[in-house]
Amino acid sequence: MDASIRPVRRDQFEELGEITAQAYLGDGLLDFGAGDPYLEQLRAVERRAAEAEVLVALDDDGRLLGGVTYVEPGSPWADIAGKDEAEFRMLAVSPEARGRGVGEALVRACIDRARARGGLSGIVLSTQSSMSAAHGIYRRLGFARSPERDWSPLPGFVLLTFRLEL
């Protein structure tokens, strides 16, 4: 992979928000399209960076390729993490950077942070059933499905969960 991973900078908030929003829209992952209320959260990089750790992938020329939100236990951004688990959310890679290992590098960075923190039993995530490319990354990195934790943020909308034992 030809990208470096580091924390997002303030001057990248808007661009990362758009990359994330457009990745979800472009992949048809938002039930209400451009009017979906989840777009506000996808674009809320400044808020996420204040309450969690937002990581970005950059190419050798400094172009933003994608990002992810790494969530420590107790963060307001934790959806399913227990008191001894980290979580990551909103993994997104720009269309032109897909297939280059950027998503995997971002997930690895989250795993590395969870291991470095110490005292955590695992790292968890929620995903849609249609995100099969992402599922492949998760399985390749050792995540296992945890169907007992699948949940519905909205009626009729089920999110699948994965967990990696640390």
- For residue range 105-144, what is the model confidence (pLDDT) as tens digits? 999 999 999 999 999 999 999 999 889 889 999 999 999 9
The per-residue pLDDT for 32 is: 67
pTM (predicted TM-score): 0.94
Cβ–Cβ under 8 Å, residues 5 and 53: no
Overall average pLDDT of the 19-47 stretch = 87
Joined tokens for residue 86: 């980290």
pLDDT in tens, 92-104: 999 999 999 999 9
